[in-house]
Amino acid sequence: VGIWCLKRPELRRTKCALYSASGAYLSDRSYHERRENSNENFSKRRVVGVVGVGASFLLGIYGYRYLKAFSESVSIFVLDDSDDRRQVSSTEELDEEVASYQGIPGGRIDGLPTYKMADVAKHSSAEKRLWVTYKEGVYDITDFVDSHPGGDAILMAVGSALEPFWNLYAVHKTPQVTKLLEQYRIGNLDPAEAKENAEGHDPYHADPSRDPELVPSNKKPFNAEPLPERLIENYITPTEYFYVRNHLPVPVVDLSNYAIEIEGPGIKSTSLTLEELKKMPKHTITATVMCAGNRRSEMSQVKEVKGLYWGPSAIGNATWSGVKLSELLEKIGFDESTNEALHVQFEGLDLTPESNPYGGSIPIEKAVDPKGDVILAYEMNGKPLTRDHGYPVRVIAPGIVGARCVKWLNRIVLSKEESPAFWQRRDYKGFSPNVTAETAKWDEAAAIEELPVISAICMPSKHDHVHVNDDSTVTVRGYAWSGGGRPIIRVDVTSDGGDRWVEAELVEKSDARPGRHWSWTLWEVKVPVTASQNQVELWAKAVDSSYNVQPESFKHIWNIRGVLNNAYHRVPINLVR
């Protein structure tokens, strides 16, 4: 199938995954799963398995060699342990992926002692060591706990299986995490008990269906982005193509029991149903929302980072309708001249295993400023919010990172402190390139609020074969945006490493004034190429109204969480005349 796909010209781009090169891995994995599930007729299955692995290996080698010949015409993907795909940027990176594969994470290792869950349960304190299990593996993680990026949340799993927690936080199911876990391997788990652990409840069973064109970077929780070319088809991103960023399972909301609780010093504690909210004055804004990890995949090419492997499409522009937070707070008695609150905290209905809600906060100055345009939105693009986008109510804090635009809004708290939620205190913060997970001082780092200027080339895509226009140019299109309400004033594009830049036409943009310019700008440009060139690398950079400009490379803005990925966008292409 993989070889057939590679030979079909119309399937060479994003629709073409490298099944042939992964054939041996998938057959080997299937073989082991069958061995684990039953010993019946094992000798026959072993013969079939060996034949299957051998055949797939030969097909894989052929497909891989075929791929090298067409590496500039296809997109290459590898499958991680949770069956999510990650794009490989070169055949050299594919070599590294193949070389690093060391078998099934959590699979049985001959020669290690076998334990029962009762044995693991005895090791749930530092004095007795901290043990966990994953699939058929038993691990002593005592020496890792202090450097766990998620803080002491890992302690919930000690003395038991990781599966219930990793089913919820499926972002752990990556080669990087499982490789790290294997360093702490001390034994095997009884196969029957490992099977019981794997058959637990799926917390994502009630998630909504999604448009099949969205490209997932993670399935549980669901996180996905559209193809880049979709972004520039419309100034207002259609809801079905708007990127989805979920941290936890999508809650099922019963409107008959739904209300937003509002509390804090100097205001009247209030509870508002959706219908009561709709009776207040309705405001509509057009605003771009972007994930802090947008374009993280490019930063990962410098050095591996923690987080989802986003491309350039974890961003979208929509109309949002609802109640202004500033008007709501004024209605329930907020007086900025006397109130000592410094932050407004938001909590959602999506819950962690320990029943803690997803949360975030924004500065009080943003929340109470009528020109800050913070909306408690119940409509997106003129229709009720979809479940993935926060039904029935979500926060839209325009110009601020998407992580603070809490979905499935349940509670608002005025406070002197930032939100205590993990995602405010231990995530979505930027660090110096030399800071590691072990040396990061989370409590001292500032939480991301306004985002920096960014742009991306949406057409052509990486390694596309692009027709050269009659005037010896190629047409390039993309988006640009800056946080804090700063409009884009210029986009520059080059095809020769920056010797000559061409200023793009800003073809679609808002006419809002600086400070309230919440929407992105779509741009287009014809970039000259020379007759002798068969390949070029396009670079794009944007400039906002404060003359902030994108940095040239990711090397000097690299950070452990892979956020604030706003270096020049670089897209190599092949020229066709």
d(CA 557, CA 545): 22
Q: Measure Cα distances from 289 to 242, 251, 523, 573 in Å.
A: 9, 21, 18, 29
Please say whether the beta carbons of 504 and 492 come within 8 A.
Answer: yes
Which one is catalytic: 291, 404, 561, 569? Answer: 291
- DSSP-assigned letter for residue 496: B
Tell me the pairing of strands 488-494 and 465-467: unpaired
Please compute, for residue 362, the number of CA atoms within 13 A of its CA located in the half-sphere on the CB side: 28
d(CA 302, CA 150): 23
Buried b (16+ CB within 10 A) or exposed e, 221-257: bbbbbbbbebbbeebebebebbbbbbbbbbbebeeee
d(CA 407, CA 32): 41
Tokens of 274: 């959706």
Packing angle of the helix pair 42-69, 91-100 (nearest 10 deg): 160
d(CA 546, CA 298): 26
Please say whether the beta carbons of 538 and 476 come within 8 A.
Answer: yes
Closest CA to 537 of 499, 575, 570: 570
Which one is catalytic: 8, 46, 65, 148? Answer: 148
Coil/strand/helix, residue 131: strand
Q: Is 33 exposed, middle or buried (0-12, 13-18, 19+ CB in 10 A)?
A: exposed
- DSSP-assigned letter for residue 450: B
Closest CA to 466 of 536, 541, 531, 570: 536
Neighbours of 127 (CB within 10 A): 8
Please say whether the beta carbons of 452 and 566 come within 8 A.
Answer: yes
Which one is catalytic: 428, 458, 486, 561? Answer: 428
Tokens of 398: 């325009």
Please say whether the beta carbons of 537 and 281 come within 8 A.
Answer: no
Which one is catalytic: 12, 172, 389, 490? Answer: 172
Question: 428 catalytic, yes or no?
Answer: yes
d(CA 368, CA 373): 9
Q: Measure Cα distances from 120 to 137, 160, 186, 233, 377 in Å.
A: 11, 6, 11, 55, 47
Beta bridge pairs of residue 289: 316
Question: 19 catalytic, yes or no?
Answer: no
Question: 172 catalytic, yes or no?
Answer: yes
- Taken as a whole, the chain contains a residue count of 577
Residue 472: CB partners within 8 Å, gap ≥ 6?
Answer: 528, 529, 530, 531
Please say whether the beta carbons of 517 and 510 come within 8 A.
Answer: yes
DSSP annotation string for 38-51? --TTHHHHHHHHHH
Question: 62 catalytic, yes or no?
Answer: no
Instruction: Check residue 241 and give left, alpha or beta (phi > 0: left; psi -120 to 50: alpha).
Output: alpha
Among all residues, which ones are annotated catalytic? 148, 172, 245, 291, 428
